Amino acid sequence: MLAYILSGLVTGAVFAVMASGLTLSYAATGVFNFAHGAVGFLTALVFFELNVGLGWPGWAAGLLAVLGFAPCSGTACTGRCSGAWPMRERPRRSWRPSG
């Protein structure tokens, strides 16, 4: 019974972090951005490969995946992959109807 409670708490915490990430990105930009889900998937994949593929202990694989890979991949994809930097340099246009 304790294992089910603990599993439910962990799953709920993961969903809460995902929901807060969506809420934060939507509140800041007005656009739903699912890129943090892709970073989460790749982080889980790195953990799996380190733990199962290379035989690392779970704590070491988790530490490297969460504190090493996730921030680096998020920083690398923040502006370069999304095209946010060229959009900042564009001149603002007026959306008033002409004529």
Mean of all residue pLDDT scores within the chain: 79
Question: What is the band of 86 on the pLDDT scale with cuts at 50, 70, 90?
Answer: low
Q: Does residue 45 lie in a domain region? A: yes
Looking at the predicted structure, is the pLDDT value of residue 52 above 90? yes
How many domains does the chain fold into? 1
Q: Does residue 7 lie in a domain region? A: no
Question: What is the band of 74 on the pLDDT scale with cuts at 50, 70, 90?
Answer: low
Q: Does residue 70 lie in a domain region? A: yes
Q: Does residue 40 lie in a domain region? A: yes
Side-chain-facing half-sphere of 17: CA atoms under 13 Å: 9
Q: Mean of the pLDDT values across residues 48-73?
A: 89
| Whole-prediction pTM | 0.56
Distance set, CA 94 to CA 82, 91, 97, 98, 99 (Å):
24, 10, 8, 10, 13
Q: Does residue 4 lie in a domain region? A: no
Q: Does residue 64 lie in a domain region? A: yes
Looking at the predicted structure, is the pLDDT value of residue 97 above 70? no
Residues of the domain holding 39: 35-78
Q: Mean of the pLDDT values across residues 10-25?
A: 86
